[in-house]
């Protein structure tokens, strides 16, 4: 009797469950335990952010925090004036963050998109094979390096060219930090957009070329319009990483909480303030310290929302062409 | 490549007159195609008559698509592909040095296996070719061209009230007819179709087949198909390919009722392929 027949011998359930042995269960357990650790840590961090933020809002009204235009936690720390209104107004930090991120995206969008279009559509395999890793090396540079690049190279350059033109520009400016940050996110924009452009199906290019369009026309009129949603998603992701970036702004943007949209002035950002609030010895129940948690939660919500929206857009885009 | 636009217009006019004269509209002479080292097509000689539908049939991998793509030089897009021999369209070897593929493809349109409308509105899909080639100058004229093309593709009645809706929203059969409308909007002389019905259900297939028969009045059509019934239904001429060779060609009736070569007979009776 062959092996096949014996399995289906009368009276034996051919579909009987077989023992998979101890190995499988053990591996499953380890995998589940590891994912649980990751999930629990995340939940824990979010919870502590939320609880400390609630404690902060017991001392400082939430509306003062969200809409106050004056930020000076140092004065608030001195006796008697704890939580005095106006000292914890986050608006200057938020505008500072947005101003710098905006400058960064103004730099990163054209540079990143242009290099993505070039790499994806026009570069030959040779150029591509060394240009792409080179570009991705930019992403591997630690942000502290961009920070001192901004503080020691870009900022003095801006100040010197400013004074040559008769302007007085402070050595710490939103512009310097924004430029460095923009260069930092170029690889992110270009590699995400490159993926998006590559996932525009070849059949659309064939259709356009088959109608007698040139390669350039095809890129301009078919490939890029088809890739717009995905590119928008990748720009959002880059924005979110710019908003959360810390090191560059700590080193180049300054600490002064100016409420301004002037890129030549020093501004400060949410991340910078969190760093300065929490470095050194701190009491953990003063409004000053707790305000860092409120800022942290705020940042978390913003970047999470941006990431979720961006990933939704990008995934929707990819599905459309599967 | 022609850089001078005046010269290119003159060339287009020349081509136009030659295309309107009698005789075979396309002559393939000793066409061989190589993909890298591998030869996919061996010395194919084949003429195509004006206003006729010619089917290219044969087992898959025999080089039907490869041959079809030679006729509008889509093989240029495959890096490793190399074409030898001549393809004469309107007394002009399309593989000659001074041929502009843009102008060539304006005269030889193509419909692909899988419907591939652009992610644009129905209107913009059809208007794409005329805009690229600037064959139309005013909005009214464009409206007219779009309507005429959609009518010829038998799609007008179904979409006339939603021209601004995306082309990808249509059913598969409608999408393929949209692609046909897009291809004929620039009034090519020749339309190449590579298994245009293989992604369609039988009802949509029947509609497209009927359409192909109507289009014959204005266009010369070369269609690759893996369905012999389809070849018999839509074409006047049939060419049978096998392992990269053109085995036999002639009137469709004759190929199907009285094939000269054993390989053809084996294929159409279902013994190979
Ligand atoms: N882009 C390509 N690169 C390499 N080989 C190819 C390519 N396209 C087709 N071929 C080869 O050429 C031969 C003919 O292919 P094709 O013309 O697509 O056949 P058909 O359309 O008749 O099924 C096949 O052996 C195929 O593997
Ligand atoms: Mg094929």
Q: Which residues form the domain of B137?
A: 5-268
Chain centroid to Cα B152, Å, comes to 16
The answer to whether the Cβ–Cβ distance between B105 and A211 falls below 8 Å is: yes
CATH number of residue B94's parent domain: 3.40.50.300
Res A84 pLDDT > 80? no
CATH number of residue A260's parent domain: 1.10.3720.10
**pLDDT at residue number B273:** 55
Instruction: Tell me how far apart the alpha carbons of residues B35 and B83 are, in angstroms, rounded to a whole number.
Output: 9
**pLDDT at residue number A83:** 44
The answer to whether the Cβ–Cβ distance between B118 and A226 falls below 8 Å is: yes
Within a domain: A74: no
Within a domain: A160: yes
Contact A153, A75 (CB under 8 A): no
Within a domain: B206: yes
- Residue A120's contacts (CB-CB under 8 Å, 6 or more residues apart) are A193, A194, A197, A198
The whole-model pTM stands at 0.80
Question: Mapping DSSP to helix (H, G, I), strand (E, B) and coil, where does residue B251 land?
Answer: strand
Asked if residue A15 and residue A139 are part of one domain, the reply reads no
Within a domain: A129: yes
Q: Which of B118, B131, B175, B180 to mutate to test the interface with A (most CBs of A within 10 A)?
A: B118
Asked if residue A308 and residue A176 are part of one domain, the reply reads yes
DSSP result, B47-85: EE-TT-EEEEE-STTSSHHHHHHHHTTGGGGSTTEEEEE
Asked if residue A7 and residue A107 are part of one domain, the reply reads no
- Give the closest residue to A287 by CA, choosing from A90, A89, A94, A88: A88
Asked if residue A264 and residue A157 are part of one domain, the reply reads yes
Structurally, chain B folds into a number of domains equal to: 1
Confidence of residue A223 (pLDDT cuts 50, 70, 90): very high
Instruction: Find residue B47's DSSP bridge partners.
Output: B27
Within a domain: A71: no
Within a domain: A157: yes
Res A32 pLDDT > 80? yes
Within a domain: B171: yes
Pick the range with the lowest mean pLDDT from A79-93, A106-120, A141-155, A236-250: A79-93
Asked if residue A96 and residue A22 are part of one domain, the reply reads no
Task: Decide which of A40, A59, A78 is a domain's last residue.
Answer: A59
Instruction: Tell me how far apart the alpha carbons of residues B141 and B134 are, in angstroms, rounded to a whole number.
Output: 11
Within a domain: A80: no
Asked if residue A181 and residue A224 are part of one domain, the reply reads yes
Query: Mean per-residue pLDDT for B234-249?
Result: 94
By Cβ distance, the residue of A204, A207, A210 closest to B72 is: A210
The answer to whether the Cβ–Cβ distance between A212 and B114 falls below 8 Å is: no
Length reported for chain A: 322
Instruction: Convert B244-269 to b/e letters by CB count within 10 Å (16 or more is b).
Output: bbbbbbeebeebbeebeeebbbebbe
Within a domain: B178: yes
Confidence of residue B6 (pLDDT cuts 50, 70, 90): low
Structurally, chain A folds into a number of domains equal to: 2
Asked if residue A125 and residue A19 are part of one domain, the reply reads no
How far off is chain A from B152, nearest CA to CA, in Å? 18
**pLDDT at residue number A6:** 56
Q: Which atom of ligand 1 is nearest to the CA of B36?
A: 4
Q: What is the pLDDT of residues B166-193, one digit of tens each?
A: 998 999 999 999 999 999 999 999 999 9
The first and second tokens of residue A318, run together, are: 């990819």
Q: Which residues form the domain of A266?
A: 87-321
Within a domain: B273: no
- Give the closest residue to A146 by CA, choosing from A123, A180, A114: A180
- Which of B31, B34, B35 has most ligand 1 atoms within 8 Å of its beta carbon, as the pocket-test mutant? B35
Within a domain: A65: no
Q: What is the pLDDT of residues B193-211, one digit of tens each?
A: 999 998 888 988 998 999 9
């Amino acid at each position: 009797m062959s092996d096949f027949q014996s399995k289906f011998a009368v009276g034996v359930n051919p579909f009987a469950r077989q023992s998979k042995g101890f190995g499988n269960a053990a591996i499953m357990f380890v995998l589940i335990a590891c994912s649980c650790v990751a999930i629990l840590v995340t939940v824990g961090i979010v919870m502590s952010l939320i609880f400390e933020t609630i404690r902060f809002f017991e001392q400082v009204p939430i509306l003062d925090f969200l809409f106050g235009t004056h930020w000076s936690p140092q004065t608030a720390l001195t006796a008697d004036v704890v939580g005095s209104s106006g000292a914890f107004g986050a608006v200057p930090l938020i505008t500072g963050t947005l101003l710098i991120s905006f400058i960064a995206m103004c730099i990163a969008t054209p540079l990143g998109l242009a290099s993505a279009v070039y790499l994806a559509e026009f570069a030959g395999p040779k150029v591509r094979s060394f240009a792409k890793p080179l570009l991705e090396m930019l992403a591997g540079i630690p942000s502290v390096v961009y920070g001192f690049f901004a503080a020691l190279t870009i900022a003095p350059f801006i100040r010197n060219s400013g004074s040559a033109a008769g302007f007085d520009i402070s050595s710490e400016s939103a512009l310097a930090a924004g430029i460095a940050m923009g260069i930092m996110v170029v690889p992110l924009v270009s590699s995400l957009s490159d993926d998006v452009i590559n996932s525009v199906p070849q059949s659309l290019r064939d259709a356009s070329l088959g109608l007698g369009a040139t390669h350039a026309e095809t890129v301009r009129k078919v490939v890029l319009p088809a890739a717009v949603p995905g590119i928008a998603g990748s720009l959002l992701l880059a924005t979110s990483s710019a908003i959360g970036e810390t090191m560059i702004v700590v080193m180049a943007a300054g600490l002064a909480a100016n409420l301004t949209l002037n890129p030549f002035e020093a501004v400060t950002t949410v991340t910078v303030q969190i760093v300065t609030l929490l470095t050194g010895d701190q009491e953990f129940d003063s409004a000053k310290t707790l305000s860092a948690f409120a800022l942290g939660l705020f940042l978390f919500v913003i970047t999470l929302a941006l990431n979720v929206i961006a990933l939704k857009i990008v995934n929707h885009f990819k599905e459309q062409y599967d | 490549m022609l850089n001078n636009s005046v010269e290119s217009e003159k060339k287009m006019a020349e081509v136009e007159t030659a295309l309107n004269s009698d005789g075979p509209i396309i002559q393939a002479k000793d066409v061989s195609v190589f993909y890298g080292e591998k030869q996919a097509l061996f010395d194919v000689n084949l003429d195509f008559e004006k206003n006729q539908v010619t089917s290219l049939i044969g087992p898959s991998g025999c080089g039907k698509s490869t041959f079809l793509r030679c006729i509008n030089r889509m093989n240029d897009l495959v890096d490793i592909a190399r074409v030898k021999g001549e393809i004469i369209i309107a007394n002009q070897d399309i593989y000659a040095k001074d041929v502009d593929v843009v102008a060539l493809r304006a005269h030889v349109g193509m419909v692909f296996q899988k419907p591939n409308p652009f992610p644009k509105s129905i209107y913009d899909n059809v208007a794409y070719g005329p805009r690229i080639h600037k064959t139309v100058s005013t909005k009214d004229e464009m409206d007219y061209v779009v309507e005429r093309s959609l009518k010829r593709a038998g799609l007008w009645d179904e979409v006339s009230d939603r021209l601004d809706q995306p082309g990808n929203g249509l059913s598969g059969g409608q999408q393929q007819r949209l692609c046909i409308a897009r291809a004929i909007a620039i009034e090519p002389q020749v339309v190449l179709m590579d298994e245009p019905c293989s992604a369609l259900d039988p009802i949509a297939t029947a509609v497209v087949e009927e359409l192909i028969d109507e289009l014959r009045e204005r266009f010369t059509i070369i269609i690759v198909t893996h369905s012999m019934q389809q070849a018999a239904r839509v074409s006047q001429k049939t060419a049978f390919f096998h392992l990269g060779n053109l085995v036999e060609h002639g009137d469709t009736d004759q190929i199907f009722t009285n094939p000269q070569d054993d390989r053809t007979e084996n294929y159409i009776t279902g013994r190979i392929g």
